A and B are shown apart, each in its own frame.
Chain A
Amino acid sequence: MRGERADRLYRAGVGLLAGAVPVALGAIAVFVLVDALPALRYMGLGFWTGTQWNLGNQYGGTTASQNGVVAAAGATFGILPYILGTLLTSAVALAVALPLGVGAALFLSEYAPPRLRLWLSSLVELLAGVPSVVYGLWGLAVVVPAVAGGIGPWLSAALGFIPFLRGPVGTGLGLLSAGLVLAVMVLPLIAATARDAMQQTPRALREGAVALGLTRWEAIAGVVLPTARPAIFGAAILALGRALGETMAVLMVSGGSINLLPTNLYGPVNTLAAVIASQLDAAFTDATHMALHALAGIALTLFVISLVVNGTARLIVRREGAA
């Protein structure tokens, strides 16, 4: 009897704890939405389609009214460049990290001798624990000069017939550098998850493949990779999520552009998360508070993009699993 009661209590307790997660999530969503509303009213759809970001004249002492809300004179908040910057840096990161990560996982799971596997695996996991500001510093010291002096000019010369890959390469601070730094940051996530999934390929399947006379590579391509595919896909989406929200490292190597749509792979960009971080202090001096509402609007946009990315991923994985 007593045990049963304790059981019920325990169940209620953990239920409550589990319930706290969706409640916190909902509270954050509502908070960000409410805080963003004035800016969305002020700008309308132009908030997402506009390219001009201007906190307005803080020192003129004058204000402007638009759609019934008040902002500093000259204020306009268009975040299209930052939406594009966020999506493009993440896309570059994924395009680089996915083949690298899956390749590394294949080696670790299928080819590496056991002792080497242990070493390399812990090294890969160690990468995940490095603070992002360190990645940023490494990006500044290594990646940016490499892009400016080597990778950029080479890509531009080799693939310059594609307009987006054509120079000028500039200082190296920009989209490609940000994407490469992000790629290294998300690499351990992809490699570790993919390796785990590959190692969990049922022994019977592997033995079956070998029994059928398949070569090692045929067994990997025919059995291991298909089994691990949903997990790899999931890892890619997680990596995308991390890349979308990364702030500090991007802030340090992206060149921090403003009012500027990305024109090529090398030029300065800015991302939603980085804009929030770099504009926050200036926004606090806005007596109309509209600049803060606009930053909340950016947070809301990032929130929605992240939710859509995760939701889509789950749908696809579920369908894959069913097929």
Chain B
Amino acid sequence: MEAKRAWRRWASAGAATILAAAVAAPAATWAAGRPAVHRSGSSVTLLETGSTLLYPLFNLWVPAYTHTHPGVKITTAATGSGTGISEATSGAVQIGASDAYLPPAHPSTLMNIPLAISAQQVNYNVPGLNGVHLKLSGPVLAGIYTGRIKTWNAAPIRALNPGVKLPAHAIVPLRRADASGDTFIFTQYLTFSAGKAWPAGYGTSVSWPALPSLVAEPGNSGMVSGLKSIPYSVAYVGVSYLNETNAAHLGEAKLENRAGNFVLPVAATIETAAKARVGQTPPDEALSLVYAPGKDAYPIINYEYAIVSQKQASAAVAAAVRSFLTWALTVGNGERFLSQVHFQPLPPAIVKMSKAQIAKVR
């Protein structure tokens, strides 16, 4: 009977654990209300979280900035754009990093401020073909992600790649498990280019087609390791992970643009696409750059945003936010930072608009 009592004790402890597991996740975030600003003396700490695509750049920016601005400390975290948006909204962080702009219905004090221009690659791991740039299009990718195109040697892929010996192996499409700006721009490409053939629309987290072969991976790093470990997989990966995808000898697709040409995400094709679109940027700077017109335009490019609230906890914090973001747009947009993550600098007109938004941070 001693034993029985022992397990009862275990049982109550177990029940508490389950309850905690059931409710802790949402409760913790709901409770994470107001700003976590730590100030000691004259120094200010800023918290940044969000986009895993922007994360490598922030890790280059922060040491350089804090070196010349010793009064400011900045912590960074790669948690996905969805977290960046939600934590900047709740005030848990001062800067939320996102590859996606805010939805139309968002708190009026929240702004999306472009910091640079990025692109997204479509990578694959097809043994024997990773050295070849396979040609893929929006409709073909929509077919792969809905399950209408099942194998690498399916007719629609063969038609785009004449002369390439494609294997009869099943395709394993990967998607992001977390709420992601990469999912946002990838599904925008599918929505804009494939029309009705892509039913799920676009968003940071979409209702993916019910496909048994579809696998979810956390973050851009998860996508890269998924590609490495799963042969015959295909995934969308931020261009800031180009060094990693090259090191892993993954294939990189040439994507079909609006003009019907197949292009790689290199400086020239990203710039061409940006030039075609940035003129339409509205004052709040929420604009999709995906599927831009132009003979050589790369189809999946985007603004990398800082999601920032106009109302900060104190004048000192607001000043630090303004100072850092302005630095990011000027010094931080320099070649020595952006080239390492394969981003492109903002055009002068957009820098001006971003600065106008930064001035509203109080």
Contact = CB atoms under 8 A, between A and B. Distances in A.
Q: Do A and B bind each other?
A: yes
Interface of A: 21, 25, 28, 31-32, 51-55, 57-61, 74, 76, 140, 144-145, 168, 170-171, 173, 189, 193, 196-197, 200, 227-228, 230-231, 234-235, 237-238, 241-242, 244-247, 251-252, 255-260, 263, 267-268, 272-273, 276-282, 284-285, 287-288, 292, 295-296, 299, 302-303, 306-307, 310, 313-314, 317, 321
Contacts of B82: 281-282, 284-285
Given A171-B213, A258-B207, 20 more contacts: A55-B205, A61-B105, A231-B4, A231-B6, A234-B11, A238-B11, A238-B14, A245-B20, A256-B216, A259-B210, A267-B212, A268-B212, A268-B216, A276-B26, A280-B86, A281-B178, A285-B102, A296-B26, A310-B15, A313-B11
Interface in B157-191: 170, 172, 177-179
B357 interface: no
18 contacts: A59-B203, A196-B3, A230-B3, A231-B3, A231-B4, A238-B10, A247-B21, A251-B218, A252-B218, A255-B216, A267-B212, A279-B205, A284-B29, A284-B82, A287-B106, A299-B26, A303-B23, A310-B14
Looking at chain A's contact residues, the main secondary structure is helix
A235 B218 CA distance: 33
Contact of B26 (A255, A287, A292, A317): A292
Contacts of A241: 14-15, 17-18
B148 to A, nearest CB: 16
Contacts of A57: 201, 203
A251 B178 CA distance: 10
Contacts of A279: 179, 205
Contacts of A277: 25
Nearest to A278: B177
Given A171-B172, A247-B21, A258-B208, A234 B29 contact: no
Contact of B204 (A28, A282, A321): A282
Given A55-B207, A280-B29, A281-B86, A171 B21 contact: no
A263 B213 CA distance: 12
B11 A310 contact: yes
A58 B2 contact: no
Contacts of A280: 25-26, 29, 86, 179
B278 interface: no
Contacts, number: 204
Contact of B85 (A61, A259, A284): A284
Contact of A287 (B25, B105, B215): B105
B58 to A, nearest CB: 18
B333 interface: no
B207 A259 contact: yes
A281 B212 contact: no
B103 interface: yes
Interface residues of B, number: 61
A210 B206 CA distance: 66
A241 B209 CA distance: 31
A39 to B, nearest CB: 12
Contact of A285 (B2, B8, B14, B179): B179
Interface in B321-348: none
Q: Nearest 6 CB-CB pairs, A to B?
A: A256-B216, A281-B82, A245-B21, A282-B205, A234-B7, A284-B86
Nearest to B90: A284
A292 to B, nearest CB: 7
Given A59-B103, A306-B19, A197 B207 contact: no
Contacts of A55: 203, 205-207
B207 A242 contact: no
Contacts of B282: none
Contacts of A230: 3-4, 7
A277 to B, nearest CB: 5
B220 to A, nearest CB: 15
Given A74-B201, A303-B23, A310-B15, A170 B212 contact: yes
Contacts of B89: 284-285
Contact of B207 (A52, A196, A299): A52
A263 B212 CA distance: 8
Contacts of B21: 245-247, 273, 302
B37 interface: no
Q: Which has the most chain B C-beta neighbours within 10 Å: A61, A268, A284, A317?
A: A284
B12 to A, nearest CB: 8
A244 B15 CA distance: 11
B42 interface: no
Contacts of A317: 4, 7
Nearest to B6: A196
Contact of A228 (B1, B3, B17, B23): B3
A136 to B, nearest CB: 10
Contacts of A247: 21, 25
B37 to A, nearest CB: 20
Nearest to A229: B3
A245 B27 CA distance: 15
A193 B15 contact: no
B270 to A, nearest CB: 23
B83 interface: yes
B214 interface: yes
Given A28-B23, A196-B6, A277-B25, A282 B105 contact: no
Q: Which has the most chain B C-beta neighbours within 10 Å: A268, A282, A307?
A: A282
B316 interface: no
A61 B104 contact: yes
B3 A273 contact: no
Given A235-B10, A238-B10, A267-B212, A256 B25 contact: no
Nearest to A228: B3
Contacts of B179: 278-282, 285
Interface string B92-107: 0000000000111110
Given A170-B213, A268-B216, A251 B177 contact: yes
A238 to B, nearest CB: 4
Contacts of B22: 32, 245, 272-273, 299, 302-303, 306
A54 B79 CA distance: 22
B211 interface: yes
A188 B170 CA distance: 39
